[in-house]
């Protein structure tokens, strides 16, 4: 399962396009991993949007991860679910998802990262590395903490939070396995932004 390079996180507030339009643009530009994040609509609407995004991602043979909701992820045949610290416990999510689907966990400290690995997560998201406007994610953790997590964690580490074209090289040099990006792709020319990220990531 592809878990390297760049994960695009949907964000309906960062641009005027619909979720389908923004997803189609980033996939067309070369992104292979989509994470659907939505906090402000009903679970029924999240399910319906997930169905549509799963269809699009399948056409591009891209990984599709649903945020927060293991049951919805399973219902729409997503590749996996991404859980926050306040969501369903990893052990319970695994019962729902089974062993062959991806479970990622958001972590904000080395202790949380180690707990996630020990609990059987397939990858961790670690951050926010830098200040981010996308969500209220707390105090930036910085590159040094990211390096420390990489030293101690043996599953893929996805850096998240305020990552842009100016600072991505420092994130990659820390050893991060992938980066998760939302607004830095959606502000301006989406295709051009994606291509510049992919050129740097290689």
- At 137 the pLDDT is 62
Structure tokens at 103: 């479970």
- At 85 the pLDDT is 95
Q: Residue 174, Cα to own-chain centre: how many angstroms?
A: 18
Phi and psi at 88, nearest 5°, equal -50, 135
Nearest alpha carbon to residue 160 among 189, 123, 195, 192: 123
- At 3 the pLDDT is 67
- At 36 the pLDDT is 98
Residues annotated catalytic, as ranges: 37, 106, 135
**Domain boundaries 5-201, corresponding CATH code:** 3.20.20.70
Domain regions of the chain by residue span:
5-201
3-state SS, one letter per residue, for 5-23? EEEEECCCCCCCCCHHHHH
Report the 10 Å Cβ neighbour count for 100: 8
Structure tokens at 28: 């067309």
Give the pTM. Answer: 0.96
- At 138 the pLDDT is 78
94's CB contacts (< 8 A; 6+ apart) are 103, 120
CA distances, 140 to each of 38, 130, 131 (Å): 22, 5, 5
Instruction: Give the pLDDT means over successive 10-residue stretches in the chain (202 positions).
Output: 83 93 97 95 97 98 97 98 96 95 97 97 97 75 97 97 96 96 95 96 90
- At 2 the pLDDT is 60
């Amino acid at each position: 399962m592809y878990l390297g390079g760049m994960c695009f996180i949907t964000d309906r507030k960062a641009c005027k396009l619909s979720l389908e339009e923004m997803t189609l643009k980033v996939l067309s530009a070369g992104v292979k991993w989509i994470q659907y994040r939505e906090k402000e609509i009903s679970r029924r609407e999240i399910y319906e949007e997930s169905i549509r995004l799963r269809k699009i991602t399948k056409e591009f043979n891209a990984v599709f991860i649903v945020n927060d909701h293991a049951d919805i992820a399973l219902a729409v045949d997503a590749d996996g679910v991404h859980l926050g610290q306040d969501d369903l416990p990893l052990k319970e999510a695994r019962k729902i998802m089974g062993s062959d689907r991806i479970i990622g966990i958001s972590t904000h400290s080395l202790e949380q990262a180690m707990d996630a690995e020990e609990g059987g997560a397939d990858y961790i998201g670690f951050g926010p590395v830098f200040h981010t406007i996308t969500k209220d994610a707390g105090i930036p953790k910085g590159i040094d903490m990211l390096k420390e997590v990489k030293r101690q964690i043996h599953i893929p580490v996805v850096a998240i939070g305020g990552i842009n074209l100016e600072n991505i090289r420092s994130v990659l040099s820390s050893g991060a396995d992938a980066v998760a990006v939302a607004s830095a792709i959606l502000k301006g020319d989406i295709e051009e932004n994606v291509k510049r990220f992919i050129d740097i990531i290689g």
